[in-house]
Structure 1
Amino acid sequence: MSISSKISWKTATGLVVANMVGTGVFTSLGFQLAEVQNTWSILLIWTLGGGMALIGALVYAELGTHFQKTGGDYVFLSETIHPSIGYLYAWVSLTVGFSAPIAIAAMAMNNYLSPLFGETLIPGLFFLLAIPIAHLFSVSRSAQFQDLMTLVKVVFIFVLIGLGLAYSTPEQTVSSLNFTSSWNEELLLPGFSVSLIYVFYAYTGWNSAAYIIEEVDQPQKNLPKALIWATITVWVVYVLLQLVMLKHASVEQLSGQVNVADIAFGNLFGAKGALWVSFFIAVQLIATISGYSWIGPRITYAMARDFKLWSPLAKINAQGIPVRAIGLNTLISLVLFLSGSFEQVMLYAGFVLQLMGTITVFSSLKIKKAINFQTPFKPWLQYIYLVFSTAVMGYMIWDRPKESIAGLGLLFIGFVIFLLDRRKY
């Protein structure tokens, strides 16, 4: 691939931001408040999630600059542990890892546009099908579209946070802010750990640029820069956004609700202002759908180059775009969009992705001598991630066995397919 067709660290950073800032940050708070209500608890959950995401970004920067192959976890796990583990990750990415976030973003888009268009599937369905088309032409075209939509996303979110912090709602009684000492008790609740799954899902995407490293210019320098700066930026944004939404709505209003941002900013701006907020939340989700539509098929393509069963998906066009992989990823997103429950899909995908991401972090310990970038304080950051993530997944299995077992069942199916498949060489 020529240098002119590669993306800069700024585009890579924007891609990471776009993939991270999607539905989770605008929807998770309602599910969390059903379990924990103290403001310190909520802020701690989002701070812990950001810290874990930053550790993950540092680890993936090491893995990506070490192997320098497009495919992300598929390559890392295949090279460090065993091809079967890499295969499982590619299988998870194809079935839920990248298709589920697209489906969830499209579902959320419909929720936020319902005040304007009513209860209809059309807006989310349209963008779910149309956006992947923007990535069928060339890497430079994908970069231009992604840059534009990410700019819209970032400007909107910073304006939203600024207004939320600067102004107060007409009635201060609607605030959910609660800085009492009750957070001590909430830390021990299973719901606290389940809330972390929502947050980990919201932070999903911090590793995005590592999946297309062959499309990044000077990856040894630009990949770590993109992953780290994007993750820190999103970390700060997420904590501030939760504080703003808690400030402008009551626990009763937000608890168990999906459209929490609509509720909070409706209290602040009134009904007409809330319509605009809902509209722009939906618009910024275009960048999220776009980012996952760009990244996900690259993992499927990497697997298709190695295994016979998936070899038809290795087809690329004249510009090197894996067109068939994009088509299949879009089709699976469509199926999830039409059949899934919002919360169940989020938990189901979140658990599986957390499990595979944890294994990938473990795989970095197999690299004894990093080539271009090494995780600071290695191996202690990896140990922190592994212990913390394993504990959260344990709570998830105990509290939400249905979604957890479904995720493990998906892995079992993938392993059976691996046993039936054959490598090309």
Structure 2
Amino acid sequence: MKIKDKIGWKTAASLVIANMVGTGVFTSLGFQVAESQNTWSIILLWSIGGVMALIGAFIYAELGTHFKKSGGDYIFLSRTIHPLAGYLYAWISLTVGFSAPIAIAAMAMVQYWEPLIGYKNSLTLGVSSILLMSMVHSISVSQSGFAQNILTTIKLLFILSLIIIGTAYASALAVSSYDFGSSWTREIISPGFAVSMIFVFYAYTGWNSAAYIVEEIEKPRKNLPKALISATFLVMVLYIFIQLVMLKHASIEQLSGKVQVATLAFGNLFGNQGVFWVSLFIGIQLIATISGYTWVGPRITNAMAKEFRFWRPLAITNQSGVPVRAIWFNTGISLILMFSGSFEAVLLYAGFVLQLMGTLTISASLALKKAEGFRSPFKPWLQIIYIIFSIWIMVFMLYDRPMESLFGLGIIFIGFIVFLFDKKITE
């Protein structure tokens, strides 16, 4: 790939931001306050998630600059543990890992746009958004970068506006959910707090996005760490502030169990006219999320397709090196998922399997004794902290939501069966 076809660190960072800031930040709070009502508990949830994402960003920067190949976890796991581990990650990415976030973003967009356009047409718009982003990313890397930069800029300006306005103004209704009492000490040791972390971890999903397209980044040894770390830190700050703003303008009763928490909160502040604009721009920024995952996910599928016979047809790229077949295959899976389950169920089982495989990748980084590139600080302590905390989350998830967790494990098992019948390309 020529230098002119590659992207700089700012575009790589915009991809990370677009993949991170999407469904989770505008939908998770409703599920979290059903278990944890104390404001300190909410701040801790999003702060812990942000710190874990930052640890992951450091470690993936090391892995990405060491292997210098697009494909992310597939490459990392295949080269450090076993081809089976990489294969399972690619399988998960294909079935739920990246296809599910696209479907979830489209489902959330539908729910936010329903009051604007009517229920009958909203699903069509969700499908159309997925198809449009697939077409945009089927042309060239420069085209993908241009579109992603525009969408991410809109996303950031929108979120910053919400934070500034929401902080500066008070709602006409006295409905604040702020509670800075001591109940957080009980809430943080409950199973509900641990399950809420799954929503947070899902909301932070995407901090590793730039590591999946290393070959498309100019000077990756310098630009990959800069993109991953700066973008992840910025998103952590934005996440904490936007949750506080939504808590300020809505009651626990209004928020609990709801998906459209942003509309509820800012509706109290802006009124019906405000709801229209907030819902409209949330839908637009979710298109940026769909775009980011459409760009990244197929690179993992393409990396696997180059090495295994069953997926070989998906290894084909166009003249610009874009894995067009993989893009449209992932798009097909996303559309199926969009019509196959509830929002919360899809989010939970996708979040569980991504957490499991991401933890395996963090563990795999310990196998790099002499990293050729960026070195993550405080090794191996950051890896150990991440692994212990992640296992704690998954154990509580299995305990509190066994059906979704077992469904996720079932997806991994099916991938194992497919691997047994597949053959690695030896040439």
* TM-score under structure 1 length normalisation: 0.99
Q: Which of residues 141, 154, 167 is equivalent to 1:139?
A: 141
Equivalent position SS for 2:306 = helix
Aligned twin of 1:81: 81
Q: Distance in 2 between matches of 1:275 and 1:344?
A: 28
Q: Distance in 1 between matches of 2:90 and 2:200?
A: 23
Aligned twin of 2:341: 340
Counterpart of 1:194, as a letter, is: V
Aligned twin of 1:47: 47
**CA RMSD, Structure 1 to Structure 2 (Å):** 0.5
Cα deviation for residue 129 of structure 1 reads 1.4
Q: Distance in 2 between matches of 1:285 and 1:347?
A: 19
Q: Distance in 1 between matches of 2:3 and 2:173?
A: 56
Counterpart of 2:146, as a letter, is: Q
Aligned twin of 1:33: 33
Counterpart of 2:144, as a letter, is: S
Equivalent position SS for 2:180 = coil
CA deviations on 1:335-368 (whole Å, 9 max, x unpaired) are 0001121000000100000000000000000000
Equivalent position SS for 1:178 = coil
Aligned twin of 2:305: 304
Equivalent position SS for 2:309 = coil
Aligned twin of 2:416: 415
Cα deviation for residue 250 of structure 1 reads 0.1
Counterpart of 1:13, as a letter, is: A
Give the alignment of 1:371-386 within 5 angstroms: 371-386=372-387
Cα deviation for residue 123 of structure 1 reads 1.4
Cα deviation for residue 125 of structure 1 reads 1.2
Cα deviation for residue 279 of structure 1 reads 0.4
Cα deviation for residue 171 of structure 1 reads 2.1
Aligned twin of 1:394: 395
Range that drifts further, 334-343 or 122-131: 122-131
Give the alignment of 1:262-281 within 5 angstroms: 262-281=263-282
Aligned twin of 1:20: 20
Q: Distance in 1 between matches of 2:118 and 2:244?
A: 29
Q: Distance in 1 between matches of 2:328 and 2:405?
A: 28
Structure 1 stretches lacking a partner, 5+ long: none
Counterpart of 1:156, as a letter, is: F
Cα deviation for residue 274 of structure 1 reads 1.0
Counterpart of 1:294, as a letter, is: W
Q: Distance in 2 between matches of 1:331 and 1:228?
A: 32
Aligned twin of 1:158: 160
List structure 1 runs of 4+ shifted beyond 4 angstroms: none
Give the alignment of 1:296-375 within 5 angstroms: 296-375=297-376
Counterpart of 2:395, as a letter, is: G
Q: Distance in 2 between matches of 1:70 and 1:283?
A: 28
Aligned twin of 1:149: 151
Q: Distance in 2 between matches of 1:178 and 1:270?
A: 24
Cα deviation for residue 16 of structure 1 reads 0.1
Give the alignment of 1:3-14 within 5 angstroms: 3-14=3-14
Aligned twin of 2:62: 62
Aligned twin of 1:237: 238
Equivalent position SS for 1:17 = helix
Aligned twin of 1:95: 95
Aligned twin of 2:171: 169
Q: Distance in 1 between matches of 2:408 and 2:173?
A: 44
Q: Distance in 2 between matches of 1:137 and 1:373?
A: 31
Equivalent position SS for 2:271 = helix
Q: Distance in 1 between matches of 2:6 and 2:341?
A: 36
Cα deviation for residue 305 of structure 1 reads 0.1
Aligned twin of 1:202: 203
Equivalent position SS for 2:339 = helix
> How many residue pairs are counted as aligned between the two chains?
424
Q: Distance in 2 between matches of 1:380 and 1:373?
A: 17
Equivalent position SS for 2:310 = coil
Q: Distance in 1 between matches of 2:27 and 2:345?
A: 13
Aligned twin of 2:249: 248
* TM-score under structure 2 length normalisation: 0.99
